[in-house]
Structure 1
Amino acid sequence: MSDHDLVPDLDLSQALAVATDLATWASEAIRGPRGDDGVREKASPADLVTQTDETIESHVRSVLRAVFPSHGIEGEEYGTDEPATPNAPYWVVDPVDGTTNYAHGIGWCSFSLGLAAPDGTPLLGLVTDPWRAETFTAIKGKGAHLNGHPIHAATHTTLTGHLFLTEWAAHSHWPGLDPLLTTLSARHCTARVMGSTALSLAQVAAGRATAAAIGEFHAVDGLPAYLIATEAGAVALPSVPAYDEPLLLSAPGVAAELADLWHRILTQ
């Protein structure tokens, strides 16, 4: 099935251009003066939101509604606006993915924006690192790019000696994470918890991390990076991520090794 069959009359090149402009604006907002930025708790002391999160998402929603009035929008801060017409695509946006880092002045967070077909199939993904001026992008079936240049998952054939990125579920380890880290450590695979789901997954696309995993897949911060990584040749386990379930991404040469480790952990 082609992208045109999924969403007739959708110009993904135009959508990517709009997304890229929004990413440039969001990056400037994230790097701008912060003051106290109105930092406050949401669901728990480990779940923070800032005025910057809300300002960026409000602006993104305003632009998307103006340019794509029939589309739906799902955002981290303001929930879901259903599509105005049946069978229209919808956008997913996380204005500051890695708000805890941002709120504490640590320069590792991202702006994440994606577009999905009505059935959830990812069509477009963008993840921007404001601090390093890096923008990862992908259109379904057209490969992945970093600042306009093609990128590919690593050619490694073993996890040993390479890098594995993961994220906690806010302040908590997710089920299966601890035994996975122990197993990877025994293989001399170095693990890092960086603090931004979208940006960590995107490192697999760039070939920097050989594998990455999250304990709970959410479209707003996971779908764009998932598309970018798989368009770069990374292998996803499962191949189609499910809401609130773990997602593992890896270079193709280590996919079987990682899948075997994960299967052993799940069957312990």
Structure 2
Amino acid sequence: MNSSVTVCGREVRVRGRLIRIARLNGDKYLFLGNPEPMLEGLRKSGKRIDLFTFIQKLPETSPKYPYPMEWDNFAALPVSTFDHWWEQQINNKTRNAARQADKKGVIVREVPFDDALVQGIWEVYNESPVRQGKPNAHYGKDFKTIYREEATHLENSIFIGAFLDQKMIGFIKLVYDETRTQAGLMNIVSMIGHRDKAPTNALVAQAVRSCAERGIRYLVYSNFAYGKKQRDSLSDFKERNGFQRVDVPRYYVPLSRIGWAAFRLGLHKNFADHLPEPLLARLREVRKAWYNRKLLLATEGS
């Protein structure tokens, strides 16, 4: 059961049936300076909320609030200038990959949010029903749905597109926090059919440039590690592009007796977090093979 409530002018989303967990709309991209007014507002909201969770923003990595917490992490790239990143933070192989898009005619630039951008995003999303071995959650959505989803946080967003012959083949949505300290890659997707042109590498390069030009000190590519998951091709890609794992506190503030009990018993975690990593790795392999086979059969039947 999902719902939302506005507190202190911020939208808070509430998820769960047995345990109701709330977090900011834009959690990991937008942050709380002083959490106390938010907590007080949630207590008075009339909504049943058992836990409120929020993450601490960079560059502070030591716990600064007296609430129960667990360690979370960012894949973070310190940004000073584009030239410093290009010359000091990545190697020749990564630089060559970023150049490859330009050599093959791909143009990467910031773009305004409008119907043309959303149409391009819609085409990128609807290229394939499977991405990285699992169902593409955006596949099959109509234009209006994509428009509504991408129109969030526009006042804090930067859109970057990769174009080949005027056709969008990849895009980034960057969302920066209220103090312009860090910007997170909320979306970064490129067409599978143009992988040989390395548009994703070129998009990351432009994201670094966009942050440097605005004085944004950290570019964040979601998490470096997810739960117990071992290294994979995505974490390797992040590392090659200069992103580092930075551990930061994630707070869980109980707002009810159920919340206190849930946190102490670990019931606020996903079911998968309680399983051993070797089993999870095997299940991911089976899932990937299953969806790839479904995609192959669908392609052969079309």
TM-score bracket relative to the smaller structure: under 0.3
Which is richer in helix?
2
Higher RCO, 1 or 2 (CA under 8 Å, sep at least 6)?
Answer: 2
- TM-score normalised by L of structure 2: 0.22
